[in-house]
Amino acid sequence: MEETELRERLGFIATRTSPPLHDPEELTAAVVERHLARRRRERALGAVAAAVAVIVVAVPVVVSRTGQDSGPAAPAPSSAVYTTPTRGNLSDEAFFVDGVRRLPWTDGPAGADVPEPPLDTRHVVFAGESPRARWVLVAGADPRAPLPPDDDGDGRRDLDRLDSVAIAWFTGPRDAAAEDMRVYGEPRMVDADEPAAVLAHTEPYRSSRVSHWIVVGAPGDQVEDSWSRQFTPDGEIFREFGPIDTVDGVASGGAGQVDASINRALRYRVVRGGTEFTGLPETEPRPDFVPPRVDLARLRPAPPPAPGDAAVASAIDTLISHLGVWAEIFDFTVLWAGDLPTASGGARVTVLAAQYDDWGVYLTGALGRDNAGQVSAGTCGSEIRPSDTPVDEMVVVLRCGSADGAENAPTDNLVVVAPAGATTARALDDRGEPIASYPLVDGVAVVPIPADLASVAVIGADGEMIDDRAPMGQVDWGD
């Protein structure tokens, strides 16, 4: 690998954990040095198809963990997150703050099916302005539960009496008036001691801008962040957290550039005494997302173009969105692509590999179907393999059908892709006994799924077994 390319790749990894700098030369120097320092200290480890993806809102899940020994610092009271005076650099704009407090919660992506609290229970927790937008967090009482009292007689209910609250994020352009703000993401119920976070739409690699995010905890909380996931050479997923500046329980800043429709990789961790809260921020898909251009190497000739080819862009988007990286760092290889018979006419499956440097190899079976002119994208499986086996020597087994029968499955096919010199695929049951045997043509077989299938043994021309693989499952991203 050339030195320039190495520096670019190392620079990429470093930016995952470095705050973005405005000067490109300064950015390059800073991120390369930071990454090299980390490698010396620790270990050397290291789209949607716009026409096919289903647009959904990423719903945050927060996990709290209390240590065995909390130390001398006691956890903050549950009311500290959502009932302190309004925080943020717009907190003193009373007219704006009260205007957003009064906005409806039912005009967001989730529609009317959201917990919209009564007006007299609502409190603006945070109101701030980033370089490109305004962000406001509003909390209130669950409208389906008994309302808390108004003990101090100020006309507003006391949220600190509640074990859980409803929250909603609002956003609008920089300098927006209250009426220009809209619900961002999906309002939801949270535990009263649970932090909240929001992440703006993704910004692609080489954009002049970066995404922005905000974490709101209790005063005294310390916030940590993790921008991305990585693969070890053995194919394991890992991430690293690092502390970020936190003032009055609030942390905010740039969140880098990600070549995906939505960022499902970024995580925050809030440390409060002996308790840790880990979660992903509220976010939405980028409405004008354009899949990144990628170069596909091929081990076999490409079939004629088909609508189902669009599933490749969706598969790449799934990978990039879960890693939080740039598409151009990966080498993408199509092991095989072809058509599968279906009840509705046919489907295109593409066996795709993605690898960066010495990371494990990500494999997926991207499945695209044309349903009355509408292309739908899915997958026959995905997994991460150790990096010590070259892509052209890998054996891939896909079950493009239902494990419980193919009545509701898009196809009912077993796909085996092996090295070009392999000659036979033997279907085995869970005792390792042969069920069926299939010849391989250029290392590939597409056959109906046999009953009781547990794995497939691939045999070479010399009669020796090359590999024995169960059908792919799905990568567990830990979401």
How far lies 387's CA from each of 16, 162, 263, 353, 394, in Å? 22, 51, 25, 11, 11
Per-residue pLDDT of 212-268, as tens digits, reads 999 999 999 999 999 999 999 999 999 999 999 999 999 999 999 999 999 999 999
Q: Give the pLDDT confidence score for residue 362 in this predicted structure.
A: 99
Question: Do the beta carbons of residue 215 and residue 270 sit within 8 Å?
Answer: yes
Q: Give the pLDDT confidence score for residue 304 in this predicted structure.
A: 96
Q: Say how many C-beta atoms besides its own lie within 10 A of residue 144's C-beta.
A: 9
Structure letter (DSSP) for residue 218: -
What are the backbone dihedrals phi and psi of residue 96, each rounded to the nearest 5 degrees, phi first? -65, -45
What are the backbone dihedrals phi and psi of residue 345, each rounded to the nearest 5 degrees, phi first? 130, -40
Question: Do the beta carbons of residue 435 and residue 449 sit within 8 Å?
Answer: no
Q: Which of 64, 3, 35, 91 is nearest to 242 (CA)?
A: 35
- The yes-or-no verdict on residue 371 having pLDDT over 90 is no
Helical packing angle, 3-15 and 24-41, nearest 10°: 80
Per-residue pLDDT of 65-100, as tens digits, reads 655 444 444 444 444 799 899 999 999 999 999 999
Q: Give the pLDDT confidence score for residue 409 in this predicted structure.
A: 52
- Is 479 exposed, middle or buried, given 0-12, 13-18 or 19+ CB atoms closer than 10 A? exposed
Alpha carbon dihedral 68, 74, 79, 85, in 10-degree steps, equals: -140
Q: Give the pLDDT confidence score for residue 391 in this predicted structure.
A: 97
Long-range contacts of 469-472 (CB under 8 A, 24+ apart): 469/395, 469/396, 469/397, 470/397, 471/381, 471/397, 471/398, 471/399, 471/414, 472/363, 472/364, 472/365, 472/380, 472/381, 472/382, 472/383, 472/396, 472/397, 472/398, 472/399
- The yes-or-no verdict on residue 174 having pLDDT over 80 is yes
* pLDDT (mean) for 155-178: 90
Q: How far apart are CA 27 and CA 100, in angstroms?
A: 37
Alpha carbon dihedral 375, 381, 386, 387, in 10-degree steps, equals: -20
Report which listed range, 21-30, 37-46, 273-282, is most confident: 273-282
Q: Which of 401, 406, 366 is nearest to 382 (CA)?
A: 366
In percent, how much of the chain has pLDDT > 70?
Answer: 81
Q: Give the pLDDT confidence score for residue 75 in this predicted structure.
A: 41
Sign of CA dihedral 13, 17, 23, 27: negative
- β-pairing, 331-340 vs 296-298, is parallel
Q: How far apart are CA 138 and CA 141, in angstroms?
A: 11
Question: Do the beta carbons of residue 230 and residue 166 sit within 8 Å?
Answer: no
Q: Give the pLDDT confidence score for residue 49 in this predicted structure.
A: 34
**154: Cβ contacts below 8 Å, ≥ 6 apart:** none
Q: What is the mean pLDDT of the chain?
A: 84
Residue 160: pLDDT band with limits 50, 70, 90: confident
In percent, how much of the chain has pLDDT > 90?
Answer: 69
* pLDDT (mean) for 262-285: 95
Q: Give the pLDDT confidence score for residue 58 in this predicted structure.
A: 52
Q: Give the pLDDT confidence score for residue 28 in this predicted structure.
A: 35
Instruction: Pinpoint the alpha helices (H) of 237-283.
Output: none
Per-residue pLDDT of 374-410, as tens digits, reads 888 999 999 999 999 999 999 999 999 754 443 445 5
- The yes-or-no verdict on residue 177 having pLDDT over 50 is yes
Q: Give the pLDDT confidence score for residue 330 in this predicted structure.
A: 98
DSSP 311-341: HHHHHHHHHHHHHT--GGGSEEEEEEEEEE-
* pLDDT (mean) for 293-316: 96
Q: Say how many C-beta atoms besides its own lie within 10 A of residue 388's C-beta.
A: 11
Q: How far apart are CA 398 and CA 416, in angstroms?
A: 6
